[in-house]
Amino acid sequence: MSRLPTDPERICRVAKDYQAEFADPIAVEAGEAFTVSERTDAWENNPAWIWVWCTDQREKSGWVPKTIIQMDTDGQTGTTHAAYNARELTVTTGQELLIKQEESGWFWCCDQQGKCGWVPISHMMAES
């Protein structure tokens, strides 16, 4: 998980169930090289939320937000300035979560048992 110090933590409720898709996602340490493919996806068709399909040194693949990738000169590998984990969090409607970070259409959240992962912003209730 990458974390920016400017992201304020806040409590939010889940508006719609979300089931994590990847049981064993990509995870990289800060500065660890990973392979970057040409496969990209604009999350929810938002051109500001670009995700890139990457593979770590353990052969785990997954989506990494383009905004945190620092491409190497070879154009095929990259690193991040902070650790990143693509773990998603399975959540149910009405569940209360602590939001720790926002990145490209997703929130990094922790539940009341301390389990953390990414949840799509579209599955969370609007803040009042």
What is the per-residue pLDDT for 3?
44
Give me the domains of the chain, ranges plus CATH numbers: 10-20+87-123 (2.30.30.40), 27-85 (no CATH)
Q: What is the pLDDT averaged over residues 101-127?
A: 92
Predicted pLDDT of residue 4: 43
Kindly list the strands in the beta sheet with 70-71, ordered across the sheet, starting from the edge strand earlier in the chain. 61-65, 50-55, 34-42, 77-79, 70-71
Measured CA to CA in angstroms, residue 50 lies from 66, 77, 94, 127 at distances of 6, 17, 28, 24
- Please give the pLDDT value at position 84: 93
Q: pLDDT band at 43, cuts 50/70/90?
A: very high
User: CA-CA distances (angstroms) from residue 73 to 14, 39, 50, 58, 78?
Assistant: 41, 18, 20, 22, 9
